[in-house]
Structure 1
Amino acid sequence: MPDSVDPMAAVRQYVDAFNEGDPAAMAAVCADPMQILDGMSPHVWQGPTAAEDWWADVLAEGEHLGASGYRIALGEPRHVDVNGENAYVVAPATMTFDLRGNQITQTGSVYTVALRKVDADWRLTAWAWAKGA
C-alpha cells in the first residue's frame, strides 16, 4: 500500500498500475468517491468504479483510433501540498503510445491529483490530465 507519509507514493502506484494496464490496481489506490477529468469523451468519470470505467473507455477509444501501449512517465512534482488529511499534487508528465504502428510521444502534459488520507494511507480522490504537445 502507499507510503502513509508521502502522497506521491500513491500517485506513483496509480501510474504504475496504469502502465501495467491493471485497472483493479488503479482502483485499489482510489478513495470512494473518485473523480476523473480527461480530454476523452465523456470527459468525467465518478464514483467507486471511476478508474475502471475510465480504463474501459480508454481501451474502447484506443481500439477506435488504433492506439495502444499507453505509458506515463512523471517528472519531478511542481507541487506536493499536504494539509492534514488532504493533499494536492501537480506533476509534469509525458505519455507514449503506439498509433497505428507509429510511436507517439506527448510531452508537456500536466497531471494534477487530489488525495485524502483513508485510514493510514493516501488515496486519490480526483485527477485531471492536461494534454501537452
Structure 2
Amino acid sequence: MDIALDPPMTVVLQYVNAFNNGDSKAMAALCADPMQILDGMSPHVWQGPTASEDWWRDVRREGEHAGASSYHIALGEPQHVDVTGDHAYVVVPATMTVNLQGKQVTQTGALFTVALGKAGTQWRLTAWAWAKGA
C-alpha cells in the first residue's frame, strides 16, 4: 500500500486540508478527546476537547497582531507512519507559507509530528507538534 494512503496518514492529510481551508470545526472533528498540541507560538501547549479550536483562535489572534494571513501547509513524503495496533505515529516534513504584511514568507524544513489513536474504527489525532524549520 502506498504510504500516503495508509489510514493514519489520510487523517493527517485531512487535518492539514482543514487547516489550509481555515476550518477549525473540521480540524476538531478529526481529533480525539483529549487532544494535545505543542507549537512554537505562545502559550505553546493546548490540550483538552477544544485544543484545535483554541489553538486556531490563538493563531488568528497572533496573525492579526503580526499582520499574518493566508496560512498554507504543504506536506512532503512521510518519514514515519508507524502503526502498532490502535496507535500510530506520523512524522512528515512540512513547508508553510504565510502572507506577512503583504509579502509571502515560506518556512521550510519544518516537521509535523502526529500521534493518532483509534476511536472505534476511526483514526483520530491525539497529539501533534510542529518543529520549526528555517
* 1:64 alignment counterpart: 65
Provide Cα deviations, 1:12-69, integer angstroms capped at 9, x if missing partner: 0100000000000000000000000000000000000000000000000000000000
Q: 1:32: which partner in 2?
A: 33
Q: Which amino acid aligns with 1:91?
A: V
In structure 1, runs of 5+ residues without a counterpart are none
What's 2:84 paired with? 83
- Output the CA distance in 2 between the equivalents of 1:6 and 1:103: 33
How far did residue 74 of structure 1 move?
0.5
In the aligned structure 1, how far is the partner of 2:7 from the partner of 2:26? Answer: 19
Partner of 2:52, secondary structure, is: helix
Residue 84 of structure 1 and its aligned partner are, at CA, apart by 0.1
Q: TM-score, normalised by structure 2?
A: 0.95
Structure 2 distance, partners of 1:53, 1:122, is: 21
- Residues 1-133 of structure 1: pairs in structure 2 closer than 5 A: 6-133=7-134
- Give secondary structure in 2 for the equivalent of 1:116: strand
1:57-101, CA deviations, whole angstroms, 9 ceiling, x for partnerless residues?
Answer: 000000000000000000000000000000000000000000000
- Aligned to 1:108, the other structure's residue is in SS state strand
State the TM-score, normalizing by the size of structure 1.
0.96
Q: How many residues align?
A: 130
One-letter code of the match for 2:37? Answer: I
Structure 1 CA distance for aligned equivalents of residues 118 and 23 of structure 2: 23
SS in 1 for 2:62: helix
List 4+ stretches of structure 1 deviating above 6 A. Answer: none
The residue identity in structure 1 corresponding to 2:107 is Q
SS at match of 1:112: strand
